[in-house]
Amino acid sequence: MKGFNVLIIEDDTIILHSIKRLLESKGLNIFINQTGENVLQQLVDMHLIIMDIMLPYDNGLSITQEIRKFSNIPIIFMSARNDIDTKLQGLSNGEDYITKPFHPLELIARVQNLLDKHYSGDVVTFHNFKIDAVNHIIYDASDEIVKLTKTEHKLFFYLFNNLNTVLTKEQIFDYIWADEDKFENLLNTYIKRLRSKLQDRDAKIIKTVYGIGYRMASHEE
Full set of structural domains in the chain with CATH: 5-118 (3.40.50.2300), 146-216 (1.10.10.10)
pLDDT of residue 7: 96
pLDDT: which is higher, 82 or 187: 187
pLDDT of residue 1: 64
At 119-130, the pLDDT tens digits run 766 678 889 998
At 202-217, the pLDDT tens digits run 999 999 999 999 999 9
* Cα gap 165→160, rounded to integer Å: 9
117-124: Cβ within 8 A, 24+ apart: 117/74, 118/47, 118/48, 118/74, 119/4, 119/47, 122/3
> In 3-state terms, what secondary structure has residue 163?
coil
Q: Residue 218 half-sphere exposure, CB side, CA atoms within 13 Å? A: 6
Structure pTM? 0.62
Instruction: State what percent of residues in the chain have pLDDT above 90.
Output: 51
Mean pLDDT for the chain overall:
88
pLDDT: which is higher, 179 or 4: 4
At 55-73, the pLDDT tens digits run 988 888 899 998 988 888 8
| Predicted confidence (pLDDT) at residue 43 exceeds the cutoff of 80 | yes
Residues forming beta bridges with residue 215, ordered by sequence position: 207
* Cα gap 100→27, rounded to integer Å: 23
| Predicted confidence (pLDDT) at residue 2 exceeds the cutoff of 80 | no
At 124-173, the pLDDT tens digits run 888 999 888 777 889 898 888 899 998 999 999 999 988 889 999 999 99
At 91-127, the pLDDT tens digits run 888 889 999 988 999 999 999 988 888 776 667 888 9
